[in-house]
Amino acid sequence: MDFDFSPEEQAFADEVEQWLVDNHDPVVMDPTRENFTQLADTPERRAFMKKLAAQGWLGMSWPKEYGGQEIEGVYEYILNEALAKHAAPQIGKGVGIIGKTLIRHGSDYLKKEFLPKILNADIEFAVGYSEPQAGSDAANMQLKAEKKGDGWVLNGQKIWTTSAHFADWYWVGARTDPDAPKHSGISLFLVPMNDPGLEIVSLPTIGKDTTNQVFFNDVYVPDTQMVGEQGKGFQYISEALDLERFTMFTLSPSTERARVLIEWAKEAKRDGKPIKDDPNVRRLIARIVTDQAVAKGLSVRFVCAARKGGKPPTIESSQYKLFATQLSQRVCQDALDIQGAAGQIREGQDEGPIRGRFEGAYRATVVETIGGGSSEVQKNIIARRYLGFPKNF
Amino acid sequence: MDLEFTEEQQMIKDMARSILDEHSSVDAVRELEDDPRGFSDALWKQLGESGLLGLTLPAEYGGGGQSLLEAALVYEEMGRTLASVPHFVSAVIGGGILAEAGSDAQKAEWLPKIASGESIFTIAWLEPERGYGPVGVQLEARSDGDAFVLSGTKQHVYFGGAADQLLVLARTDAGVDVFLVDAKADGVSMRQILSQAGDAQYRVTFESVKVGAGDRVGAAGTGWDSLSKVMHDGIVLLASQAIGGAQQALDITGEYMKVRTQFDKPLAAFQSLAHYMADASTNIEGGRMIVLEAAWTRAQGRSIERLAPMAKLFCCDTYTEVTRTCEQLWGGVGFTLEYDVQLYFRRAKQLELSWWDTPYLEELVAADVLD
């Protein structure tokens, strides 16, 4: 048993930490974006991603023949947690699901075209799985792909494509065989985001970022831009989630938020008395740090399970995600309760405690228990795989 | 980072499991409820002979010299089997305080006997209408020449009826001190108080009980520090015990849900019910991780000032919450004495209220974070 990183891993963690301190950029590393700085559509963020690439930190776990270092996935976990802790953009879907899926299933053409650009941070992706009728029921996607000559014509709609308004390429699932069972009629495509048939409609959210609906109007995609085999799209999508064992939902942002709350509570006063002497505040803070320690334990558990290889750590990651995202929201909720009336002051104004940090975070964290597999989906997974219960929906 | 046990750790866990499976069946546990002695000699003998009793006591005094991590594995098994046995009060708290603060003579006399099971120690700490902190220790130890005279009342003295020796927390001019008192000494009287868990706990009255200066454990005024240090180890073990009990309650409930049908389908196929269980299992796994981290951290010689209270706080909370959920899932039969789930339900709450309760633990954590 060992709860510490190995000396090599610790050295890497220290190196990343120091690098992030040395390269601190307040525009890119904005903690008030609450774990979503990778969604900032700014030249500064693009420049920062190029710097990460120059460090050799993109695609570390990729095979050497594709420009990776074949390094253990735990290093990407360390890197992403450090990035998230500093509110820097995380390494994301390019080197993750897209790169890894192309390496396993992509044609030589797609590999040559995309992999080097991913490693150099020359390219930004948007991922299009969700649709109005395919949320938690992801395999229910209806975006229609009809065969035409040496390609496909796509018609329909995607939703919740957060990066659509600035990405270069769209990684998108579409139904190529309407008569096949729902999981096996789907194929994956790469579509240039500037295709004139794509219409992007912004959906402002209660969080910091806008998301998008994307409408497909006769978007023609050549066969060469289909990923892998026809009809295997959903299989690839599921497999990619298993390949992304180390870079799921990061814990550092909520740990940092708890730290910020505690620092504030140590100094703040109400009616002339220190807030930290209020028994109710002490109780809430004790609970928050305890639950943070438990969440950390659950993350160690999934990382250790992932390192063992073999079976994907599905149960471990579901239990971690369920616990950590609920906790992340509770920290914000407790923070506002502790701050009382002033907690409502909209973020960004000096009159609010911590400039309204938790007013904003309370809104921004709502999506955490929804995206990336909702809490209810995680519970269904745990019920079936951990408890051995029958399918219940 | 890795979560693998060593071969020796696995062996210790397996040994504990097999001894407890043999001697602490649910029937045996039921048999011992409200029993004045509260444990079976057969199990006690096995624990002594196998080395599990003195597992963490120093090897030079007949103990196993193992770390808190090995002990935590044993305590998860004790929780799983609801083992009723004075292991905690005698070996962990009694032996722990002697090993921490006792004189060489005290250690040489008592630790080997504690490790073998020949002597049973318990601690007389809490007092009626007083709390868990040092201020709650008000039993008077009046100085009388070279001796002390103890007067006052203690309660929640676990296994008091079977104990040979009592470690008594008392107030002296120097502060809080611990005294070693023979359970049969003149002026000591006790009576059993029934508890929610049906364990063997006693209210003990001290009427001018005379003890020698050599019966004080540790230097004058250091009693609370000794107890507090040993308690930080001890509560990690109780947290592990809580996880063992919670896991077993979850397991038997899960099996029941697969066979009990209503509306022509098993309870396990109802999503609302399955989700309760998914939450419960997540908290149990999280609790197990914080126990392991605390025990491992202590084994590395690092401080568990914050981790230990967090572990008991979270795990006891989980145990009570999980068993309340399980009661609900069993439905009417869970409310009857006949079904086993109630055994876990009652012990969960008792464990949460005992050995530093929720408000006390929360304040320990808060003070460490905020002050």
Q: Give the pLDDT confidence of B59-92 residue by residue, as tens digits.
A: 999 999 999 999 999 999 999 999 999 999 999 9
Provide the chain A residues 270-299 that lie in CB contact (below 8 A) with chain B.
276, 282-283, 285-287, 289-291, 293-295, 297-298
In this structure, are residues A45 and A110 in contact, taking their beta carbons and an 8 Å threshold?
no
The neighbouring-strand residues paired with B180 are B167
Average pLDDT, chain A: 95
User: CA–CA separation, B9 vs B297, rounded Å?
Assistant: 16
At B82 the pLDDT is: 98
| Domain extent for B305 | 224-370
Reply yes or no on whether the pLDDT at A244 is more than 90: no
The CA distance from A380 to the nearest CA of chain B, in Å, is 7
CB–CB of B268 and A383 under 8 A?
yes
Q: Note whether B176 and B310 are same-domain residues.
A: no
In a domain? residue B181 = yes
- Using the 3D structure, point to which of B219, B242, B277 is the last residue of a domain: B219
Contacts of A277 by beta carbon, 8 Å cutoff, 6+ apart: none
Strands B165-172 vs B201-212: parallel, antiparallel or unpaired: unpaired
The neighbouring-strand residues paired with B236 are none
Q: Domain A248-385 belongs to what topology?
A: Butyryl-CoA Dehydrogenase, subunit A; domain 3 (1.20.140)
Reply yes or no on whether the pLDDT at B334 is more than 90: yes
At B190 the pLDDT is: 97
CATH code of the domain containing B198: 2.40.110.10
Q: Note whether B212 and B234 are same-domain residues.
A: no
pLDDT in tens, A155-212: 999 999 999 999 999 999 999 999 999 999 999 999 999 999 999 999 999 998 899 9
For chain A, give the percent of residues with pLDDT over 70.
100
At B197 the pLDDT is: 97
At A393 the pLDDT is: 81
- Using the 3D structure, point to which of B72, B93, B119 is the last residue of a domain: B119
CB–CB of A298 and B366 under 8 A?
no
CB–CB of B278 and A378 under 8 A?
yes
User: CA–CA separation, B107 vs B145, rounded Å?
Assistant: 25
In a domain? residue B1 = no
In this structure, are residues B61 and B95 in contact, taking their beta carbons and an 8 Å threshold?
no
Reply yes or no on whether the pLDDT at A37 is more than 90: no
Q: Note whether B168 and B232 are same-domain residues.
A: no
Closest partner CB to A300 (pick from B268, B282, B289): B289
Reply yes or no on whether the pLDDT at A247 is more than 80: no
The neighbouring-strand residues paired with B212 are B147
Provide the chain A residues 221-280 that lie in CB contact (below 8 A) with chain B.
262, 265-266, 276
In a domain? residue B146 = yes
Mutation target to probe the A interface, by most A beta carbons within 10 A, among B273, B279, B285, B298 is B285
Q: Note whether B57 and B168 are same-domain residues.
A: no
Among A245-259, B32-46, B143-157, B352-366, the minimum mean pLDDT is found in A245-259
**Amino acid at site A50:** K
Per-position DSSP letters for A92-128, written without gaps between them: HHIIIIIHHHHHHH--HHHHHHHHHHHHTT---EEEE
Provide the chain B residues 300-339 that lie in CB contact (below 8 A) with chain A.
306-307, 310, 313-314
At A6 the pLDDT is: 96
The CA distance from A285 to the nearest CA of chain B, in Å, is 6
How many beta-carbon contacts under 8 Å exist across A and B?
150
The CA distance from B136 to the nearest CA of chain A, in Å, is 19
CB–CB of B274 and A392 under 8 A?
yes
Six-digit token pair at B269? 């196929």
**Cα angle B186, B188, B193; round to 5:** 155
**Cα angle B139, B145, B149; round to 5:** 25
DSSP element (H, E) containing A146: strand A144-148
pLDDT category at B328 given cuts 50, 70, 90 is very high
pLDDT category at A241 given cuts 50, 70, 90 is confident
At A197 the pLDDT is: 98
Q: Note whether B356 and B256 are same-domain residues.
A: yes
Q: Note whether B175 and B91 are same-domain residues.
A: no
Q: Note whether B99 and B137 are same-domain residues.
A: no
CB–CB of B278 and A2 under 8 A?
no
Per-position DSSP letters for B308-359, written without gaps between them: HHHHHHHHHHHHHHHHHHHHHHHGGGGGSSSSTHHHHHHHHHHHHHSSS-HH
Closest residue in A to B268 (Cα) is A389
DSSP element (H, E) containing B154: strand B147-158
pLDDT category at A139 given cuts 50, 70, 90 is very high
The neighbouring-strand residues paired with A202 are A212
Provide the chain B residues 136-175 that lie in CB contact (below 8 A) with chain A.
none
Provide the chain B residues 68-127 that lie in CB contact (below 8 A) with chain A.
69
CATH code of the domain containing B92: 1.10.540.10
At A15 the pLDDT is: 98
Closest residue in B to A267 (Cα) is B370
Closest residue in A to B256 (Cα) is A389
Q: Note whether B105 and B148 are same-domain residues.
A: no
CB–CB of A390 and B296 under 8 A?
no
Q: Tokens 């120690």 map to which residue? A: B121
The CA distance from A306 to the nearest CA of chain B, in Å, is 11
Q: Tokens 């399955």 map to which residue? A: B274
Q: Note whether B243 and B214 are same-domain residues.
A: no
pLDDT category at A309 given cuts 50, 70, 90 is confident
Mutation target to probe the B interface, by most B beta carbons within 10 A, among A261, A289, A294, A331 is A294
- Using the 3D structure, point to which of B168, B189, B219 is the last residue of a domain: B219
CB–CB of A392 and B365 under 8 A?
no
Strands A125-128 vs A169-175: parallel, antiparallel or unpaired: parallel
Q: Which residues of A touch B361 (CB under 8 A)?
A: 286
Structural domain count of chain B = 3
Nearest to A123 by CA among A98, A150, A158: A98
CB–CB of B1 and A304 under 8 A?
yes
Is B363 an interface residue toward A (CB < 8 Å)? yes
Contacts of B183 by beta carbon, 8 Å cutoff, 6+ apart: B160, B163, B164, B165, B166
At B247 the pLDDT is: 98
CB–CB of A286 and B254 under 8 A?
no
Provide the chain B residues 8-37 that lie in CB contact (below 8 A) with chain A.
9
pLDDT in tens, A311-339: 889 999 999 999 999 999 999 999 999 99
- Top-tier CATH class for A126-229: mainly beta
User: CA–CA separation, A316 vs A300, rounded Å?
Assistant: 10
Cα A344 to Cα A33, A210, A338, B48: the distances in Å are 18, 22, 11, 61
Q: Which residues of B touch A273 (CB under 8 A)?
A: none
Closest partner CB to A294 (pick from B268, B269, B289): B289
Q: Note whether B126 and B158 are same-domain residues.
A: yes
At B353 the pLDDT is: 98
> Who has greater pLDDT, B258 or A309?
B258
Closest partner CB to A390 (pick from B69, B269, B365): B269
CB–CB of A387 and B290 under 8 A?
no
Is A201 an interface residue toward B (CB < 8 Å)? no
Provide the chain B residues 231-290 that lie in CB contact (below 8 A) with chain A.
254, 257-258, 266, 268-271, 274-275, 277-279, 281-283, 285-290
Where in chain A are the domains?
7-123, 126-229, 248-385
At A246 the pLDDT is: 79
Q: Which residues of B touch A307 (CB under 8 A)?
A: 1-2
In this structure, are residues A122 and A115 in contact, taking their beta carbons and an 8 Å threshold?
no
Six-digit token pair at A139? 């395999």
pLDDT in tens, B109-141: 999 999 999 999 999 999 999 999 999 999 999
CB–CB of A2 and B270 under 8 A?
no
CATH code of the domain containing B283: 1.20.140.10
Reply yes or no on whether the pLDDT at A245 is more than 80: no
CATH code assigned to A7-123: 1.10.540.10
At A127 the pLDDT is: 95
pLDDT category at A92 given cuts 50, 70, 90 is confident
Backbone angles phi, psi at A133, to 5 degrees: -105, 10
Buried-exposed string A319-344: b where 16+ CB fall within 10 A, e elsewhere: bbbbbbbbbbbbbbbbbbebbeeebe
